[in-house]
Structure 1
Amino acid sequence: MAISNPPTTLSANDARVLNALFDPETLPSSVAKSKDASAIDNTLPPHPNIAASELSTLEAQQNDIVRRISTSSSIQEIDAAITELDRIVEEHPNYASAYINRAMLLRMKLESQLTAAQHIFTRSTSEVQPLFTNLSRAIHLSLPFSSPTAPVSEYQAKILRTAYSHRAYLYLKAAETGASLQGLEKSELEELASKDFAGAARYGDEVAREMSVRTNPYAKMCGAIVRNALKEEMSAEA
């Protein structure tokens, strides 16, 4: 679906050109690959290194841990859940889902300590960095080893959608709040967010697919250039 633009007096053709800059359907980028069925192969086993029976047991264990936590949980309860996930990660370092849930709990812990005027990037780097470390590890473990374009199982695709989207949100939040993250400028953070949204889109997240276009700094720049050019053209004709 195209992202709507403000009402203008542009010709139908000019409006169509401008709108195409922000339409995921028309961009010849990696975002379009979200509809590439070859990215997911339902015949593959859920996990390349963990047997299905063991994976089922791990899923049950971590789901039990996560379900005990809510927005009303105390820091002590969240810490206890994180400790349990630490144990799972230590015993099963290739189990990507545990890294995603640990990142989620770490973020919940940070957010539970914020005042109304604060955001997670007002916390210290040592508190924020583990979010990125865990999500990056989950992505690394779930991507195909043979080739970046090789297909993954539906289970791996779900992990990748979740991890990419969460990390993209964090990059976007850092950009919007003007946070100093890894010495990156706002445009660089937006570009990282756009790439991660595109990663989530490749594995089936259609909301992330549109967000990738919205946050793409090059698309924004092109849109601004086209708008200015069209305005100048209309002014000259007036």
Structure 2
Amino acid sequence: MPSNNTSSSACSAPPNPSAHDSNLVDILFTSALDGEYVRDQISGTYSEYTPHQDNGQVTPSNSDDVAPFQISDSQLVELQGLERRAILAAERDGDIKGAISQLTQIIHDCPAYASAYNNRAQALRLDGADPSAVLADLDSAIRYAQDDKTLGQAFTQKGIVIKAMEGDQDEVFNCFAQGAKCGNEVARLAMAKENPYAKMCGKIVTEAMRQLRTTSSPRS
């Protein structure tokens, strides 16, 4: 995955989040994640599916080795309806396993429908599934995604999962950077929090302030 860690100034100040933004970022990395963020994230990822089309074929924009596939308008409407039912099973009825089963059937019927992978990854997280299964679905969502919303959510979820696993921090940052590039608000905030340059500069400033306080303290 290409790195987006370049910066014109190594110590450029990160975005200054508002109190609301700070609260949202805190939700990302606490136990509240599986309540507030997941409940928001799982809903409606199908709603802005805008594929890049060429003579009726949909060509995945995120992988050169995936063959073009076709999703007709009528099939897309049907998939979205089935996906809504799966989401409602999780959100309204609390039937996470039922939602997983329904989403799995959607994926079986249309293996290149990215949004179903994205939502199944959410449901698997809520069900406490092995992170490797979640990441496999997110990689499939990224592989097949044709709209920025689904792609951004998949990258954002992936960053959160890898961070929770205490995985490679560069990969975490890159996932959030990709999510932010797709317009995902949560990824934008998380990216600012995880920016390695900001972390490095923060440590430098903290150490400089500590030394300044030490040297300026009156000696007895």
2:150 counterpart (126, 144, 159): 159
What is the TM-score when the length of structure 2 is the normalising length? 0.62
Distance (whole Å) between structure 2 residues aligned to residue 89 and residue 194 of structure 1: 29
**Which of these residues, 167, 173, 181, is aligned with residue 194 of structure 1?**
173
Distance in 2 (CA, whole Å) between partners of 1:87 and 1:224 is 49
In structure 2, do the counterparts of structure 1 residues 71 and 221 end up closer, same or farther at CA, with 3 Å as the change threshold?
farther
Deviations 1:162-197 (A, max 9, x none): 11111122223233xxxxxxxx4xxx2x33222111
1:137 CA displacement:
1.0
Number of equivalences: 164
* CA–CA distance in structure 2, aligned partners of residues 83 and 43 of structure 1: 26
Pairing 1:1-238 to 2, within 5 Å after superposition: 20-23=12-15, 44-45=52-53, 48=59, 49=69, 50-70=71-91, 73=94, 77-110=95-128, 127-142=130-145, 156-175=147-166, 184=167, 188=168, 190-232=169-211, 236=215
Residues 11 and 198, structure 2, Cα contact 8 Å, conserved in 1: no
Deviation at 1:235, TM superposition (A): 5.0
SS in 2 for 1:68: helix
- TM-score between both structures, scaled by the size of structure 1: 0.58
Alignment-mate amino acid for residue 202 of structure 1: K
3-state secondary structure, aligned to 2:90 = coil
Structure with more relative contact order (C-alpha pairs < 8 Å, separation 6 or more): 1
Provide the residue aligned with 1:149 in structure 2: none
**Letter in structure 2 aligned against 1:138:** A
Q: Which amino acid aligns with 2:75?
A: E
Note the C-alpha offset of 1:24.
7.8
What is the CA–CA distance in structure 2 between the aligned matches of 1:235 and 1:197, rounded to whole Å?
38
User: What is aligned with 2:29?
Assistant: none
Q: What stretches of structure 2 of length at least 5 have no aligned partner?
A: 1-8, 18-49, 60-68
Q: Where does the alignment leave 5 or more consecutive residues of structure 1 unmatched?
A: 1-16, 26-41, 111-119, 121-126, 143-152, 176-183
1:215-234 deviations in whole A, cap 9, x for unaligned?
12343123212332354356
Partner of 1:34: none
Q: Which amino acid aligns with 1:60?
A: G
Amino acid corresponding to residue 152 of structure 2 in structure 1:
R
SS at match of 1:102: helix
Q: Distance in 1 between matches of 2:134 and 2:188?
A: 22
The question of whether the paired residues in 2 share the 8 Å contact of 1:21 and 1:223 is answered with: no
After superposition, the CA RMSD in angstroms is: 3.2
